[in-house]
Amino acid sequence: MNINFNPLPSVPEMERAYKQSDSSYNGIFYLAVKSTGIFCLPSCSARKPLAKNVEYFSSSREAVFAGYRPCKRCRPMEAIGTLPEWVTKLLNIIDENPTERYNDQFLRSIKIDPARARRYFLKNYGMTFQAYCRGRRLGISFEQIREGKKLDDVALGYGYESHSGFREAFSKTFGNSPGKSRNKDYIVTAWIESPMGPLVAAATNEGIILLEFSDRRMLDAQFTTLRKHFKCSIVPGENKHIIHLKKELKNYFEGTLTKFTVPIVYPGTLFQQKVWNELLNIPHGKTLSYEEMAVKVGVPKGQRAVGHANGLNRIAIVIPCHRVVNKDGKLGGYGGGLWRKQKLLELERNNL
């Protein structure tokens, strides 16, 4: 998605935020200190740097790529798992009544700056706040249509004042008119907090098709692949599989779950599916080398091909690509970051 929009607040606004350690800006921007080579969250309690020594980034990934290392005090690579309080409040309001229309006036009435909401949703969900709300309404309306509810009831019951307005919005999002969509599927996406940072999940009616850490570089490419494979639209929301996944992830990180049962769907080439199926056979708390994996999938000298297929796995943790390591026992690569791979392996070994 190409959006001509600068996600960063103004420099004076960011300067005020970090000088006041304003945690509500966590996830919206990161500040990097040129004199120390360290980057932090706006809420960091460390001594405040001079404005002339500060550089701003819209993501931790950008700061790392620019050569900065994460602060050991505020841990910007880990702390992003907790949403700002105002975002949690807003999402809860939408979840309680997703059919309402939430305009800028409403945001101001609950003391949320519309510009800040727009920036945050663009950065973290790839859409404006209004588009997010519209997607939630349409996602629910799609479910109602598939369940056989009358189109008139759906259009007027889900925040649309006219049939034509509903049909236009529906067709634009899903690529079909409501009447032609009773047997169609679509992809719902949800944000899941975890002790290792936020995850983005996506699911169809058949199962989970994506689970990635939100700061992974390949996330945009993965969504492009999903659209190509499933040929349907992507909207925010939940279905039974995402609800199931959230419960199992909670248990996994608490150390009470060693095998996921949530349905998963992972189309790919024959070789990719061989590798991903073999990943599912690696027991909790155990590891295999790339060489061992290559033998298991029938290509004894195909370590690099196995590594490439590993990197294209779209369902992190559930399809445990983090359990594959180098022959010498070193971690090797991991799209979610080596620090996460280490923590996942430690978590599983501690829960044997």
Q: Which residue has the tokens 């960091």?
A: 44
* 341 φ/ψ sector (left φ>0, alpha ψ -120 to 50, else beta): alpha
Sign of CA dihedral 157, 160, 164, 168: negative
Q: Which residue has the tokens 């007027």?
A: 156
- Nearest one of 142, 88, 135 to 112, comparing CA atoms: 88
| CA dist., res. 57 & res. 64, Å (int) | 10
Measured CA distances, 118 to 222, 285, 307 (Å): 24, 41, 38
- 326's tokens: 């180098």
Helix, strand or coil for residue 10?
A: coil
Alpha-helix residue ranges (DSSP H) falling in 163-320: 163-174, 219-230, 240-254, 270-280, 290-296, 303-311
| CA dist., res. 34 & res. 49, Å (int) | 9
User: Among the options 40, 44, 232, 321, which is catalytic?
Assistant: 321
Cα pseudo-dihedral 143, 145, 146, 148, rounded to 10: 130
Size of the chain in residues: 352
Q: Mark whether 40 is an active-site residue.
A: no
Residues that are catalytic: 321
